[in-house]
Amino acid sequence: MKGGARPIRVDVVLAQVLEKHGVQKQVRRVGVLDLWPEIVGARLAEVTRVKGLDRDALFVEVRSSAWLMELSMLKTEVLERVNARLADAPLERIVFVLAETA
């Protein structure tokens, strides 16, 4: 190393690269996929499954039309709970869709 420069931690460099390319926020949002059961609780986690993220929206598959109706009424509350976990990378909307059955 030249001039006594110290090594830079890889996580610091990675965070800088992600931020530079505008994907840091989306990377933080992906954490919701693993946290979903913890965010909504066991009961809702049993009847839902996070399908993915698209920019500022979270897409969640719901097991039945009855649950879809129930969750549609709770949409604001669920989104607030999700965003409480995301802090500096909040989502603007949550979209519940009926699960496809084969």
Quick one: pLDDT band at residue 7, thresholds 50, 70, 90?
A: confident
Average pLDDT on 8-35 reads 69
Average pLDDT over residues 27-37: 77
Apex 37 CA angle, 79 and 47, nearest 5: 85
Task: Give the residue with greater pLDDT, 17 vs 8.
Answer: 8
Mean pLDDT of 29-50: 88
pTM over 0.85: no
- Given this model, what pLDDT does residue 35 score? 86
Query: Does pLDDT of 98 surpass 90?
Result: yes
Alpha-carbon distance of 97 to 54, in angstroms, equals 14
Q: Which CATH architecture has domain 8-98?
A: 2-Layer Sandwich (3.30)
Return contacts of 54-57, CB within 8 angstroms, 24+ apart. 55/26, 56/91, 56/92, 56/93, 57/91, 57/92, 57/93, 57/94, 57/95
- What's the mean pLDDT in 22-40? 75
Write phi, then psi, for 55 (nearest 5 degrees).
55, -105
Run of H or E residues at 57: strand 57-62
**pLDDT tens-digit map of 47-84:** 999 998 888 899 999 999 999 999 999 999 999 999 99
